[in-house]
Amino acid sequence: MAQRIVFLNGFFIPIQSAKISILDRGFSYGDGLFETMRAYKGKVFRLGWHMDRLFDSLPLIGMDLPVTQREMADIVRETVDRNSWPSAYVRLMVTRGEAPPGLLYDAGLPATVAVLAQPYNPPSPKKYQKGVSVVLVHDGAAPMGNLAHKVKSCNFLPGIIFRTEAKGEGCEEAFLLDRQGRLTEGTTSNIFLVKNGILKTPPLNQYVLAGVTRRAVLGLANQLKIPVREENLSPFDLYTADEAFITNTGVELLSVTRVARKIIADGKPGAMTKLLHKAYLKSVDEETDKC
């Protein structure tokens, strides 16, 4: 078996040789950003959108990288190429770099940049056929001022805890509510509901990340002439929805048919969810065929 190759701070090396300092601020404080991407047919889907989000986020947290946006995209592509997996999960991580302990940091620290790829293991077909269950976490959404919808932060401990608790209850995902009891997002996903032919999703705000798959789905809905509303949604809206689904890079679109033990609508993936997922996969084929 060929060695798994990763990119770390200017070099492509075997993953066994990839090491960072215990003083790295990503390790010490989660002080960094990441992007999760999918490669189809060896090509990263919506790579430009991921690079835009990353490089738009950097100045918001006072961070700079030693490479340009175009060079970073080339590094991601080469990481995928060097590992030769047609279908791959790709993770790009950047941290503020190595520094002595303490919350404050010196400007100009050399950033740590890492890219890894691994074979993509999709959810079981049964999940797409039957849908999945979610739990609600009251007051689980953590605000980040005006940064949340712009910054994909390495600070992920709440999501880890809530997702683990959801799994313990036999659920796929946890939906986080803000202090007003409104739906925000899942631990690793954006939320969509369908009601009376209208596609609804929570608006981007201090709790909701601008997901790349979310953006793609909204664009597809526009192309398909599906009415869309970005509006505040409550648990009642979820319980009474005709359909519900989540989006992220890994699952694409995945139907939600239960909230804990409560069944949504008829308990089956809905027609609009299937239509949008089909359109999404078509857009993947069209983009990768052009590369």
The residues annotated as belonging to the active site are 152
Tokens representing residue 198 in the block:
């209208």
Q: How far apart are CA 131 and CA 110, in angstroms?
A: 45
Orientation angle between helical segments 47-57 and 69-83, nearest 10 degrees: 130
Contact 233, 202 (CB under 8 A): yes
- Count each helix (H run) and each strand (E run) in the chain, helices first: 8, 15
Q: How far apart are CA 91 and CA 258, in angstroms?
A: 30
Angstrom distances, CA of residue 142 to CA of 27, 113, 234: 21, 26, 17
Q: Which residues lie below 8 Å from residue 17, measured CB to CB, with a gap of 6+? A: none
**If residue 14 lies in a helix (H) or strand (E), which one and from where to where?**
strand 11-14
CA triple 47-69-207, angle to 5 deg: 65
Q: How far apart are CA 225 and CA 143, in angstroms?
A: 33
